[in-house]
Amino acid sequence: MSKSYLNSVTKQFEYYKNLGDNAFDQLDEDHFFWESHPEGNSGAIIVKHMVGNMMSRWTNFFTEDGEKPWRDRDDEFVNSFSSKQEVIDAWKKGWDCLFDALSVLKDKDLESVLYIRNQGHTITEAINRQLCHYAYHIGQIVFIGRTLKKEQWVSLSIPKGQSNFYNKEKFEKDKERKHFTDDL
């Protein structure tokens, strides 16, 4: 299971990163900084929080607590970006940190214990925790983008009204074992 798990979870992270990348491609500069209300989070702020989390969780994750003393989580909810490119550069830095950490994992590591705020997790549990956390926030970014772009938004999944066509295409192919992201 572990080889399958590491391969699958890496592809899942790649899938969610790709969803974010494709959302960013559709957004104008001002869309990155739009907030629905004064206490709301813009896409830029969500990215800043995700990057702070990624850098904290995945840096030296074998030897240090996942909540680093240098992390200022509260500051992650204050925009400090001045351009779309700065947001994208930070996004890339966070994902690079995550993928670098995943790339060194071996099957034997998955049951090892690491800590996040002194709470023990197996590496498998920590990976699952982060996968769910990032998917949650990427969904927020996609929702903001879809809301702002309205009818100009290009669906990042099966477009409304296209489920039957999509399923027909899938069921016309022979059964095969592969990851669902292989054809994306």
Gap between the Cα atoms of 88 and 20, Å rounded = 10
Residue 11: the pLDDT is 96
Q: pTM value? A: 0.94
CA distance 10 to 29: 30
Position 177 scores a pLDDT of 86
In whole angstroms, give the CA distance from residue 103 to residue 90. Answer: 20
Residues 22, 132: Cα–Cα separation, whole Å: 19
Domains of the chain: 2-157 (1.20.120.450)
Instruction: Quote the pLDDT of residue 2.
Output: 58
Interstrand relation of 113-116 and 119-122 (parallel, antiparallel or unpaired): antiparallel
Say whether 161 sits in a helix, a strand or coil: coil
Given this model, what pLDDT does residue 70 score?
A: 97
Q: Which residues of the chain have pLDDT under 70?
A: 1-3
